[in-house]
Amino acid sequence: MTMNKIPLVAHRGYCEAYPENSLESLRAALECGAVAVEFDVQLTRDHVAVVCHDDTLSRTADVELSILQSRYKDISSVSIGEPRRFADQYSDSLLPSLAQVVELLEAFPESIAYVEVKTESIEAFGPELVNRVVLETIAPIQSRCVLISDDLPAMVAAREQSDIPIGWIIHQWSEHDRLQANQAGPEYLVVNHKYFPSGNNILWPGDWHWVVYQTSKVHKAMDLLAMGIQWVETNSICPMLEALQIQQEQYSPPAILRSRK
């Protein structure tokens, strides 16, 4: 399989067609040629990293279980097949551990992983513990991982614990956030494209890459790449890659930025 050289990121895998953050969703994205995937990490009560956006399983599994308050062995066999979206089509899709996702990514050695550490886990267990667990788990593929979070201080701490590049997910377009970014110097800034103000040359100058989420519209992805965005996240990775094949010669995925600590 030849990787597509288009800088699209599979947001929670190919989650338009598969349960988000599932092994099936991530595998489908990689098999159709995604050069980068993004997924979310929470910690269980006994400090096992699992791949899930929420801190409960109510949305993806339709069961009222807190990940943060559960032991891994008690939730590892829970189906996260999103029954409200897919009925019982993916009832065999189980909550993946981060270790299982790392094993999957080892089979795709050209791929890049954006590993989002969720703030609920950071607040529950503290950044030092969460970072340690995540970094130890992704060690086999760390050279092609970027650690990202809403929590900028936690990411700065992770960079001090290792040489992993970090990304900050910003939720407003403000001078305060720009100054914070300048001070911390993350290698990546992650932002919803809807937060961009109108006008040209709006991107904050700095020695970082921009990752923008998420769009399933080809023309929007092309506009973002044209304005200097390095990576565009999408829920529809496979059809987006197919639609952008004709533009492949114009783009190539940027090299992963290394930590500047």
CATH code assigned to 8-55+97-250: 3.20.20.190
Domain ranges of the chain: 8-55+97-250
> In the numeric block, which tokens belong to residue 259?
């930590």
- pLDDT for the residue numbered 249: 61
The yes-or-no verdict on residue 261 having pLDDT over 80 is: no
Q: Do 191 and 170 touch, CB atoms closer than 8 A?
A: yes
State pLDDT tens for residues 62-103: 999 999 999 999 999 999 999 999 999 999 999 999 999 999
- pLDDT for the residue numbered 1: 34
- pLDDT for the residue numbered 253: 87
Average pLDDT over residues 237-254: 83
The total of other beta-carbon atoms located within 10 Å of residue 86's CB is 14
- pLDDT for the residue numbered 246: 67
Bridge pairing between strands 49-51 and 36-43:
antiparallel
